[in-house]
Structure 1
Amino acid sequence: MSARFLLSLPDLSPFFELRHHELATRLQGEHLDVLATTQDPAEVARLLGDPLGLYSYLVPEAYGGATTGRPVDLAYIDVRALVLVREALGQVSAQADSIFAVQGLGTYPILLGGSQDLIAEVVPDVVRGRRLGAFALTEPEAGSDVASLRTVAREDGDSFLLDGEKTLISNVPYADHHVVFANADPSLGRKGITAFYVPKGAPGLTLEALPMSAHPLGRLRLEGCRVPKEHVLGHVGAGFRIAMETLDAFRISVGAAANGMAARGLSASIEHVKRRRQFGAPLADRQIVQAYLAEMSTELDAARLLVARAAHRRDTTGERVTSEAAKAKMYATEAAQRIIDKAVQLHGGIGVLEGGVVERLYREIRPLRIYEGTTEIQKLVIAKALLG
């Protein structure tokens, strides 16, 4: 498996540091194949923590995460490390990549706004893989338009009562805790949105799995779900900021996962056209096939550059990189869809047989153009930055 990994670092080393080279070496030496041997989400989640230890890249060094060189920064996530991990996971198992990513989404808001007691309770178990998190933002009538969410929170003594429904939430129903976004004052619009830590088993919380191949997905129903005030993340009204800062940190890595999937599709295509013979010669000898491969490789390189640039700027400046992240996520996911489509075409009939590598990639790449902000929303984000 290690020979099949195509990581950005060797070609784009100016964007990376020594610790990233060490991580790349580690990823090439790890037996990540084990993640593809099971379709059980709970088992995949466990393996990512033990023995692989990959969750350590989702939390700051100060809280037991991987070494970043910034041990006193309580909110610093090494996005370039996330890029390398997700590139590798994208080539092995889309399910493992999804679980890994959502573990980060379901933990980072706690780091941004949780009390020290809550952080101490949750984060060590996250790193060890003993606890799985979820990020509950999307609703039946509120996806891209976050400000229109209808889940509400009303104060009740020393608690809040949450009412509403969340849907298309990754890691449900396997997650041990959920970061739930609800509006504590709908009259304020997005300024009333508040983030809550809601553990599995909370009174008034019902979980339901939704059918989706190779991706744990579910629905939360909150009916008078009681949440103590100490489980408010940040403060009342800080939820929108927490959600956007979390997505800003992890959105770049969606592009990296797409790059990993595209790299696997390109690699499989090169192997296939060298082996497959038509009209007395390998497919690889035909100019149209060579043109396909050239286009696929060039698009992948362009996507890697955009992802590496965005990750490098966020890591080195500490600033929000909303526009750069949007460009990286938009281009990489769209390019990966095109690359994998060409991979299916190059494989011909066997490219659409269920269970084949490129057929699986064709199904798995599609959600990346939707989650953590659709392609259309990324275009609006980029345009807004251009227009000031």
Structure 2
Amino acid sequence: MTRFTGFALGADQEEWCARLRTLAAERLRPLAEKGELGRVNRPLLAALGEEGLLERVFTSGALDLCLLRESLAYGCTEAETALALQGLGAYPVLRSGSEVQRERWLPGVRAGRTVAAFALSEPGAGSDAGALALSAVAEGGPGGGWRLSGEKCWISNAPEADFYTVFARTGEGPGARGVSAFLVPADRPGLSGEALDMLSPHPIGALAFDGVPVGPDDLLGEPGRGFRVAMDTLNLFRPSVGAFAVGMARAALDATVAHTAVRTAFGGVLGDLQAVAHRVAEMATRTEAARLLVYAAADAYDADASSPQVPRRAAMAKLLATETAQYVVDHAVQLHGAAALRRGHLLEHLYREVRAPRIYEGASEVQRTIIAKELYREAREMREVGEA
């Protein structure tokens, strides 16, 4: 597709997004409504596969992934989340897996038959991914395998996934340098899990590893390089988390404009009240700013994924977009009044959905830390150049 030009999408991109919004509302949302809260919706996944959207996750650049997620989120958040979780769980296999691993697992993921999951977080290591405690104890000497022991928590699609991208401590070095990535099928002996009852409607669970056997053929990438596998995935998906948030914000904003344009109160239309009109204007301005920052971050990734500026741009996009969506949805609920809190209302649904993205894939505080660290790194490098 045509690249983002800085301030506007191309006509072909706008047309594609419109088709996606229609598809989400007309085909995917009815399937989502038939699903069970907190469970993997396999008919919805199959529909995403049939429409070729799961394939797009693996063949698109970062900007097209953002447009895809934003458009689906506008019409059906459950479809967006199901698609994103497939990408998050399987992208490490695409990028770092062996040919055998890719041939075994990715066709099913693309078709919506095989459910993937990204197992990074732990009870004591959520945002601090370098503090992982899940141990991979070597056995059988050089070239042998490992036994995984410990826990993972807050894992989307657990415990119903068919395989997990698991990050464990193999001990080649301290902190992040001693983490390896493994592809672990769900039927491995010693692996068990339970669902967690969460605010968000998509499936989230905990996993227990009791000496789960893994071998060299289960490695994703090289031993001790698993943290890089995780970061490569998160750098791609963080801007598109922002796109998910922008899609929700735009849906809430459009609903608010439509509501306040006709709702009468205090002898007139709500939208004629300056306090209401100014609040809606603020909602629209923040949403547009977040949208542009998300697109710019994705475009920078597509231009040069290895650029040292990519992590900072991705962090800025996720931070601003998720915080903005929280603001917009909250104010949309306020302007709708009690009706927005009724179960089944669009804004009641968005109010439950919008909170989690400020935490997962790096909480807002983590994004601020990444941004500040990169700014000071650049300042230090410039100072050193000036002193040379």
Q: Shared topology, TM-score over 0.5?
A: yes
Match of 2:196 among 200, 210, 226: 210
Shift of 1:215: 1.0
Query: What does residue 109 of structure 2 align with?
Result: 126
Relative to the length of structure 1, the TM-score reads 0.89
In 2 relative to 1, CA 257–124 (structure 1 residues): closer, same or farther, beyond 3 Å? same
Query: What does residue 39 of structure 1 align with?
Result: 35
8 Å Cα contact 1:42/1:174 also seen in 2: no
In 2 relative to 1, CA 354–377 (structure 1 residues): closer, same or farther, beyond 3 Å? same
Deviation >6 Å, runs of 4+:
9-13
Query: What does residue 83 of structure 2 align with?
Result: 100
SS in 2 for 1:95: helix
In 2 relative to 1, CA 17–279 (structure 1 residues): closer, same or farther, beyond 3 Å? closer
SS in 2 for 1:30: helix
Please give the per-residue CA displacement for 1:242-270, whole angstroms capped at 9, x wherever unaligned.
10111001010000000000001001111
Asked if 1:379 corresponds to 2:365, the answer is no
Match of 2:350 among 321, 340, 361: 361
Shift of 1:354: 2.3
8 Å Cα contact 1:183/1:193 also seen in 2: yes
Letter in 2 for 1:44: L
Q: CA RMSD in A?
A: 2.0
8 Å Cα contact 1:150/1:182 also seen in 2: yes
User: Quick one: distance in 1 between partners of 2:296 and 2:91?
Assistant: 22
Shift of 1:174: 2.4
Letter in 1 for 2:229: I
Query: What does residue 385 of structure 2 align with?
Result: none
User: Quick one: distance in 2 between partners of 1:20 and 1:275?
Assistant: 32
Query: What does residue 307 of structure 1 align with?
Result: 294
Q: Which moved more, 1:99-108 or 1:152-161?
A: 152-161
Query: What does residue 63 of structure 1 align with?
Result: none
In 2 relative to 1, CA 241–32 (structure 1 residues): closer, same or farther, beyond 3 Å? same
SS in 1 for 2:355: helix
SS in 1 for 2:161: coil
Shift of 1:26: 3.6
Query: What does residue 188 of structure 1 align with?
Result: 174
User: Quick one: distance in 2 between partners of 1:93 and 1:124?
Assistant: 24
User: Quick one: distance in 2 between partners of 1:311 and 1:10?
Assistant: 10
Shift of 1:10: 12
Please give the per-residue CA displacement for 1:235-292, whole angstroms capped at 9, x wherever unaligned.
1101011101110010100000000000010011111112211123211111111101
Query: What does residue 380 of structure 2 align with?
Result: none
Query: What does residue 384 of structure 2 align with?
Result: none
8 Å Cα contact 1:39/1:214 also seen in 2: no
Asked if 1:59 corresponds to 2:28, the answer is no
SS in 1 for 2:211: strand
Relative to the length of structure 2, the TM-score reads 0.89
Shift of 1:187: 5.6
Letter in 1 for 2:205: G
SS in 2 for 1:162: strand
User: Quick one: distance in 2 between partners of 1:10 and 1:237?
Assistant: 36
8 Å Cα contact 2:69/2:240 also seen in 1: yes
8 Å Cα contact 1:303/1:328 also seen in 2: yes
8 Å Cα contact 1:152/1:186 also seen in 2: no
Shift of 1:19: 6.4
Match of 2:122 among 96, 114, 139: 139
TM alignment of 1:239-254, pairs within 5 A: 239-254=226-241
8 Å Cα contact 2:57/2:87 also seen in 1: yes
User: Quick one: distance in 2 between partners of 1:17 and 1:183?
Assistant: 45
Query: What does residue 74 of structure 1 align with?
Result: none
Flag structure 2 segments of 5+ consecutive residues without an equivalent.
378-388
User: Quick one: distance in 2 between partners of 1:358 and 1:376?
Assistant: 26
Identity, % of aligned pairs?
Answer: 42
In 2 relative to 1, CA 206–313 (structure 1 residues): closer, same or farther, beyond 3 Å? same
8 Å Cα contact 1:15/1:308 also seen in 2: no
8 Å Cα contact 1:300/1:335 also seen in 2: yes
8 Å Cα contact 2:21/2:74 also seen in 1: no
Flag structure 1 segments of 5+ consecutive residues without an equivalent.
1-8, 61-76
Letter in 2 for 1:159: G
Letter in 2 for 1:45: L
May I ask how many residue pairs the two structures share in their alignment? 363
User: Quick one: distance in 1 between partners of 2:18 and 2:326?
Assistant: 28
Letter in 2 for 1:103: Q
8 Å Cα contact 2:3/2:299 also seen in 1: no
Please give the per-residue CA displacement for 1:80-125, whole angstroms capped at 9, x wherever unaligned.
1111111112122322222211111111111222111111111121
Asked if 1:329 corresponds to 2:303, the answer is no
User: Quick one: distance in 2 between partners of 1:291 and 1:243?
Assistant: 42
Shift of 1:35: 2.5
In 2 relative to 1, CA 117–22 (structure 1 residues): closer, same or farther, beyond 3 Å? farther
User: Quick one: distance in 1 between partners of 2:4 and 2:96?
Assistant: 37
